[in-house]
């Protein structure tokens, strides 16, 4: 059965109001994390292209710096890329990151969120992660999403959206 406005063969990405998908991600410690385990509190899920690159490092540092403020609001934050759990461990250690990271080993999360997209750099087309962030309410429903994120000021914008969501 096809979802709303879904053509045959098209991947349907999550939309505002949709429930968080039942997906598990690999953690740097070698375990797994079920996204639905985040239900019961506000949850920020951000996808980023690659560990230890300038934009991705800045984004992880920004979320790490604001993590105490997110936690004070009862919100959890999780960054996801295709990088291996071992690469995540090195990334976290190198920059003293506090924001939790996870790996989408089977691409299920990237498909569900519609972040695995065709990109272009210097005229070359390739597949990659569209830097995107998703904010879920405590009921596990998507409250807001950001696509094609520009890093400067983004983590602050997400924090303000968490505050606004809680106040509503």
Known catalytic residues are: 56
User: Backbone phi, then psi, for 44, in 5-degree steps?
Assistant: -105, 125
d(CA 57, CA 53): 6
Euclidean distance between CA atoms 101 and 108, whole angstroms: 16
**CA atoms of 23 and 59, how far apart (whole Å):** 23
Say if residues 21 and 35 touch (Cβ distance below 8 Å): yes
Which secondary structure element, helix H or strand E, spans residue 162, and what is its range?
helix 154-167
Q: Could you give the angle at the alpha carbon of 26 between the alpha carbons of 22 and 27, nearest 5°?
A: 120
């Amino acid at each position: 059965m096809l979802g709303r406005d879904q053509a045959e063969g098209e991947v349907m990405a999550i939309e505002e109001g949709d429930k968080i998908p039942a997906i598990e991600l690999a953690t740097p410690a070698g375990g797994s994390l079920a996204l639905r385990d985040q239900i019961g509190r506000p949850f920020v899920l951000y996808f980023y292209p690659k560990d230890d690159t300038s934009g991705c490092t800045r984004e992880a540092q920004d979320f790490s710096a604001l993590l105490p403020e997110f936690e004070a609001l009862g919100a959890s934050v999780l960054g996801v890329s295709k990088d291996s759990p071992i690469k995540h461990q090195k990334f976290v250690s190198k920059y003293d990151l506090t924001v939790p990271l996870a790996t989408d080993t089977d691409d299920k999360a990237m498909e569900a969120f519609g972040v695995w997209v065709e990109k272009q750099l210097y005229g070359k087309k390739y597949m990659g992660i569209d830097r995107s962030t998703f904010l879920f309410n405590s009921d596990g429903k998507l409250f807001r999403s950001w696509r094609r994120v520009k890093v400067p000021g983004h983590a602050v914008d997400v924090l303000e959206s968490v505050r606004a969501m809680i106040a509503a």
